Structure 1
């Protein structure tokens, strides 16, 4: 069985900011919801709390920050996906239910 690591985000507590580590790089991610457009965004902060990229829209199947070149951006693929195949959109109806923010590295499980 294959799986990706996902972020468990408490969507009842939006906006929120949390810290995470990718290799030797610690960053903070801010999760926000845009009710008018029915989409979520991610803010990226460096380990000092400085803004790196603000308001990156979560688009189903699209890697976060793919349009930027900056050494402060983690060199890891974070992608909103639905591993069950039920949904192909990332919005309030799907995000946190079938669509999750995954680290797009497939790990082989123990069956």
Structure 2
């Protein structure tokens, strides 16, 4: 069964910044939490830390940067999703528990909502654990 990769986010260590390679391009991601508004945002930089997009709000099941056209953006869709269907929002109670920031590159006809589905983090082994 096909699985989506996801971008691991440590919600207990925000704001954070990390490098991530997507399709052989290095990006720097900045993850933030807006306490006043109660939402998470994503900053995206090129490998030299030049800003591409700042303050993109995470909205459940909505592709990041959906309304932007910029050749510097990742070619793969990145979407905060809850494949269990339990969450209705991206918030501190859901992000990293049932909501993950997925690289949404599966064929939409593939059924990944089976009871044995397990997402795979970009740093995880094929079997879904972090062992090396």
TM-score (norm 2): 0.77
Find the counterpart in structure 1 of residue 57 from structure 2: 57
Higher percent of residues as strand: 1
Find the counterpart in structure 2 of residue 78 from structure 1: 78
Provide Cα deviations, 1:13-42, integer angstroms capped at 9, x if missing partner: 100011111112111110000111111000
- For the residue of structure 2 that corresponds to 1:67, the secondary structure is coil
- For the residue of structure 2 that corresponds to 1:12, the secondary structure is helix
Provide Cα deviations, 1:46-85, integer angstroms capped at 9, x if missing partner: 0111011000000000000111111111111000000111
Maintained 8 Å contact 2:34/2:41: yes
Find the counterpart in structure 2 of residue 32 from structure 1: 32
Let me know the Cα RMSD of the aligned residues: 1.8
Offset, 1:106: 2.5
Greater Cα radius of gyration, structure 1 or 2: 2
Give, in whole Å, the separation in 1 of the partners of 2:33 and 2:87: 19
Give ranges in structure 1 of 5+ residues lacking alignment: none
- For the residue of structure 2 that corresponds to 1:105, the secondary structure is coil
Give, in whole Å, the separation in 1 of the partners of 2:85 and 2:3: 13
Find the counterpart in structure 2 of residue 21 from structure 1: 21
Give, in whole Å, the separation in 2 of the partners of 1:29 and 1:18: 5
Give, in whole Å, the separation in 1 of the partners of 2:29 and 2:84: 25
* Shift >4 Å, 4+ stretches: none
Maintained 8 Å contact 2:11/2:92: no
